[in-house]
């Protein structure tokens, strides 16, 4: 493909993208295909002679689209949103065009330096403590990981390494490293994302999933009791992963209480996972749940969830970046820096699990500049407003209850009509029936033994009318399910 052919094809692709977005409501949010649907539609090997771009685009509609889950459809209310905007799409084009791999500063200085500065911009936008800023004195700084799961794994591995070194420095001797590892214990809540427990599997350490209160939040007293018991039993508490905005109900662990407890345990690493809800901290009025953040050793959130940035872009800040470097440092000659490594020119390969990395900070640069703080605040406030409107609709129907406080863009609802048999069973049937119609798509969930349905404001295109449409669909299917149960 030469430059002229590329120009023509690229224009067509942009037109296709715009048309896809403009007509996204016409598509079922979830595909109807069965596993293995694609194999019969594609040849068994690559073509001998080139296909044309036109042929490929025809196949996109014929083969790809029938198997697509349309995450950006306003009728897709499952999971949490996946960030999307034309501004980020533009950056994605440039990232592909520049096509660099910024594992060290030397491998692409602009890639590294923009990331350092963008992470400072973003930290200030969220009102994070200054110990996370590269521009401040001290060893703090930010890095873009691929996902929140990676950020948690990095934090847990760094905490483990820091603790093992400390135990070693205390005179236990390197030969005891293996023994010490088996004494390590970390904590999270039973409502935290499954990747948190997975991080402990990867780090080969014990992690306790602690019970939550009636609002699905981890409280300081629960953590305190667990730590004290483990210390009595000769274990070494080394990390806590708190969640601000849990996956199931968007609950906020009580960070202030957790930080107060940890003030007596300065050696325990506190990682805060705000994968979804962290984006709301661009609005000052939502920062109350972040109280206690000064104690955090690391904090992460996904601009690729709720801040209009396309996947993948997970922001992570670390109080002492040297501790992450300690956990991940390997130093072969071919990577050895010729420059003086400093806070403006780190080798980011030491801050993550993978070696190579994309120029993802371009997406942050484009999105923060083209929307500005005000535009991002409007986006968040609008989506929370839509969730509140939806909550009102649910509360106006006596058959339903709202299961958890609605503070962000998620409403968890449940049928509460008790004279139709088992309520969990009834709610499971409701969710299945709603999804079977294909008009909207929702996810079921369960907390404290209660089955409920999560309704998220999922798309940047979502309007009031979409939430009303979803509510009418839910009501219609609820009536059908209740009628069937009454028979
Ligand atoms: N943490 C929380 C609170 C989440 O809600 C999610 C996903 O929804 C994750 C972590 C996982 O995010 P990622 O897919 O970026 O690893």
- Write out pLDDT tens, residues 295-346: 999 999 999 999 999 999 999 999 999 998 888 877 777 777 777 778 888 8
273 Cβ inside 6 Å of ligand 1: yes
Question: At the top level of CATH, which class does the domain 376-486 belong to?
Answer: alpha beta
39 alpha carbon – ligand 1 mean position (Å): 31
- Write out 425-473 in H/E/C secondary structure: HHHHHHHHHHHHHCCCECEEEEECCEEEEEEECCCCCCCHHHHHHHHHH
Beta bridge partners of 445: 452
Continuous H helices in 233-360: 255-262, 303-306, 321-328
- Write out pLDDT tens, residues 140-180: 999 999 999 999 999 999 999 999 999 986 655 555 777 88
189 Cβ inside 6 Å of ligand 1: no
pLDDT score of 440: 97
Residue that the structure tokens 């007293």 belong to: 221
Q: Which residues contact 448 (CB under 8 A, 6 or more apart)?
A: 212, 216
Which of 73, 117, 28, 188 lies closest to 365, judged by CA? Answer: 117
Helix (H, G, I), strand (E, B) or coil at 366: helix
For residue 146, give the ligand 1 atom closest to its CA: 15
For residue 277, give the ligand 1 atom closest to its CA: 3
Task: Find the helix or strand (DSSP H, E) in which 185 lies.
Answer: strand 184-189
End-to-end CA gap in the chain? 65
Task: Find the helix or strand (DSSP H, E) in which 272 lies.
Answer: strand 269-273
301 Cβ inside 6 Å of ligand 1: no
Identify the CATH homologous superfamily for domain 3-82: dopa decarboxylase, N-terminal domain (1.20.1340.10)
pLDDT score of 332: 72
Task: Find the helix or strand (DSSP H, E) in which 242 lies.
Answer: strand 236-243
Domain limits, the chain: 3-82, 101-358, 376-486
For residue 150, give the ligand 1 atom closest to its CA: 16
148 alpha carbon – ligand 1 mean position (Å): 5
272 alpha carbon – ligand 1 mean position (Å): 12
The token pair at 62 is 């014929």
Rounded distance between C-alpha atoms, residue 264 and residue 227, angstroms: 11
Q: Which residues contact 472 (CB under 8 A, 6 or more apart)?
A: none
Question: ipTM, 2 decimals?
Answer: 0.98
Rounded distance between C-alpha atoms, residue 408 and residue 305, angstroms: 13
DSSP state string for 408-424: SSEEEEEE--GGGS-HH
276 Cβ inside 6 Å of ligand 1: yes
pLDDT score of 448: 87
303 alpha carbon – ligand 1 mean position (Å): 11
191 Cβ inside 6 Å of ligand 1: no
CA atoms in the 13 A half-sphere facing the CB of 444: 17
186 alpha carbon – ligand 1 mean position (Å): 19
Rounded distance between C-alpha atoms, residue 174 and residue 179, angstroms: 10
Question: At the top level of CATH, which class does the domain 101-358 belong to?
Answer: alpha beta
149 alpha carbon – ligand 1 mean position (Å): 6
243 Cβ inside 6 Å of ligand 1: yes
What are the mean pLDDT values of the chain's consecutive 10-residue runs (487 residues total)? Answer: 95 97 96 96 96 96 97 96 95 96 89 96 98 94 96 96 86 66 94 91 92 96 98 96 97 98 97 98 97 98 97 96 85 72 84 90 98 98 98 96 96 87 91 95 93 95 97 96 87
């Amino acid at each position: 493909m030469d430059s002229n052919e590329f120009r023509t094809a690229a224009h067509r692709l942009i037109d296709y993208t715009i048309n896809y977005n403009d007509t996204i409501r016409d598509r079922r949010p979830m595909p109807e295909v069965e596993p293995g649907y694609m194999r019969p539609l594609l040849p068994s090997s690559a073509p001998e002679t080139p296909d044309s771009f036109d042929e490929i685009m025809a196949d996109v509609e014929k083969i790809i689209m029938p198997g697509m889950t349309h995450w950006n459809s306003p009728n897709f209310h499952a999971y949490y949103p996946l960030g999307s905007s034309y501004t980020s799409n533009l950056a994605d084009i440039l990232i592909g065009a520049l096509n660099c791999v910024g594992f060290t500063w030397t491998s692409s200085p602009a890639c590294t330096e923009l990331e350092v500065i963008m992470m400072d911009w973003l930290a200030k936008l969220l009102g994070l403590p200054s110990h996370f800023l590269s521009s401040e004195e001290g060893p703090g700084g930010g890095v873009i990981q691929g996902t929140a799961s990676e950020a948690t794994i990095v934090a847990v591995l760094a905490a483990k390494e820091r603790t093992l070194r400390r135990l070693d420095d205390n005179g236990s001797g390197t030969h005891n490293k293996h023994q010490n590892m088996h004494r390590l214990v970390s904590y999270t809540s039973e409502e935290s994302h499954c990747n948190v427990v997975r991080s402990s599997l990867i780090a080969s350490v014990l992690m306790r999933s602690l019970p939550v209160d009636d609002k699905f939040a981890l409280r300081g007293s629960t953590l305190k009791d667990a730590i004290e018991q483990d210390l009595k039993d000769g274990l070494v508490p080394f990390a806590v992963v708190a969640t601000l905005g849990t996956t199931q109900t968007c609950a906020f662990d009580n960070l202030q209480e957790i930080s107060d407890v940890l003030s007596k345990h300065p050696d325990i690493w506190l990682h805060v996972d705000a994968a979804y809800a962290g984006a709301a901290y661009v609005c000052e009025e939502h920062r109350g749940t972040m109280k206690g953040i000064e104690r955090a050793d690391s904090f992460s959130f996904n601009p690729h969830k709720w801040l209009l940035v396309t996947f993948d872009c997970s922001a992570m800040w670390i109080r002492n970046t040297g501790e992450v470097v300690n956990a991940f440092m390997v130093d072969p000659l071919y990577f050895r820096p010729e420059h003086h490594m400093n806070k403006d020119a780190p080798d980011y390969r030491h801050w993550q699990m993978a070696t190579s990395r994309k120029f993802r900070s371009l997406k942050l640069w484009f999105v923060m500049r083209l929307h500005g703080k005000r535009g991002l605040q409007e986006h968040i406030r609008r989506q929370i407003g839509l969730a509140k409107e939806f909550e009102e609709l649910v509360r106006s129907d006596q058959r339903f209850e709202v299961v958890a406080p609605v503070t962000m863009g998620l409403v968890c609802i449940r049928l509460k009509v008790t004279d139709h048999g088992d309520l969990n069973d009834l709610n499971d049937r409701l969710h299945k029936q709603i999804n079977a119609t294909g008009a909207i798509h929702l996810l079921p969930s369960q907390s404290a033994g209660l089955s409920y349905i999560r309704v998220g404001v999922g798309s940047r295109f979502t309007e009031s009318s979409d939430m009303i449409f979803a509510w009418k669909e839910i009501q219609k299917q609820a009536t059908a399910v209740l009628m069937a149960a009454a028979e």
